[in-house]
Amino acid sequence: MNQSFQGILLFLGFFLINVSLQAQQGSYISLKQQTEILENKKKISNEVDLFYDNNKQIITKYYHSAKEFILVTNALGEIKTYYPASNEVDYKQISELSSKRNLIYYFANNLTDDLGLVDEGFNLVSNTNENQFYVTLWKAPSFLKGIETVKMVFENGLPVYSEYQASRKKIVKKTYYTNYKDFTQFRLPLKIIEISYLPSGDSIINRTLFSNIKVSSSPDGKYFNFKIPDDAKSVSIAKGK
């Protein structure tokens, strides 16, 4: 009897730990993403509410700063864009815009060692220590034209800088990951600054800010599991003409 009671207690203990871990896993992430792009002293700004379902790997973005629409992306790169005002929906398939190519996916799943470089065909060629930084160098796949290597720099195990190089001396893109915030199961940079250098000598600065971040075990946001109305009119064919 005593052994049975101990067994039940043990089972309950494991069950509670499991439930607790699942709750901490942060399967559902919602945040506000503000993106600003600066080129030639002109800037464009955009604000979006992002909802990421880490179980289904679906990203739903609600755009409201310019034109109102909802964009749903899955891991296969299937994109549905719904325009509430006109009740229209547009379907596209762009693998480069897959939810698994979004930085949220890599950070939420602690895949920060390469931030997707391996998925894109890069190979690690060297790793060194420079003061407090751990520096890795990745060789680009042959099909990626114009890029020879990517340098990734880590501090305290987190990526703080990456650099796309067309050759040893020619940098085409620098990305800085700053203002990290700790969550239970992952850490996310609240500010990402990307500087792209154009062949003309100009550069484009892309600044992304994440705020109002909520991590939960249940989908408590309005746009998690967003369903496009059945009567929405498809405009994909019309736009493709």
**In the complex, which residues of this chain contact other proteins (CB under 8 A)?**
33, 35-38, 41-46, 48, 61, 63, 65-67, 69, 71, 73, 79, 81, 90, 92, 94, 96-97, 101-103, 106, 115-116, 120, 130-133, 142-148, 153, 155, 160-161, 164, 166-170, 172-173, 176, 178, 191-193, 196, 198-199, 204-208
Rounded least distance, CB 24 to other proteins, Å:
25
Nearest-CA neighbor of 206 among 54, 39, 67, 82? 39
| 9 HSE (CA, 13 A, CB side) | 6
Residue 18 phi, psi dihedral angles, 5° rounding: -60, -45
Q: Whose Cβ is closer to other proteins: residue 6's or residue 167's? A: 167
Residue number, 50 or 215, with CB nearest to other proteins: 50
Question: Could you tell me the smallest distance in angstroms from the CB atom of residue 6 to other proteins?
Answer: 50
Residue closest to 58 by CA, chosen among 99, 2, 107, 112: 99
Report the alpha-carbon distance of residue 182 to residue 157 in Å, rounded.
13
Strand partners, 112: none
Closer by beta carbon to other proteins, 29 or else 115: 115
Nearer to other proteins, 187 or 191 (CB): 191
Query: In terms of CB distance, is 56 or 101 closer to other proteins?
Result: 101
Contact at 8 Å (CB) between 93 and 236? no
Q: Which two tokens stand for residue 135?
A: 């520096």
- In the complex, minimum distance from the CB of residue 22 to other proteins, in angstroms, rounded to a whole number: 27
| Cα–Cα dist 105/111, whole Å | 8
Closer CB to other proteins, residue 13 or residue 229?
A: 229
CA distance 73 to 95: 10
Alpha-carbon span 206 to 16, nearest angstrom: 44
In this complex, which beta carbon is closest to other proteins, that of residue 28 or of residue 122? 122
Rounded to the nearest 5 degrees, what angle is found at the Cα of 97, between the Cα atoms of 203 and 181?
70
Q: How far is the CB of 25 from other proteins (least distance, A)?
A: 22
Shortest Å, Cβ 106 to other proteins: 7
CB of 213 to other proteins, least distance (A): 14
Report the amino acid identity of residue 179.
N
Q: Shortest distance, CB of residue 232 to other proteins, whole angstroms? A: 14
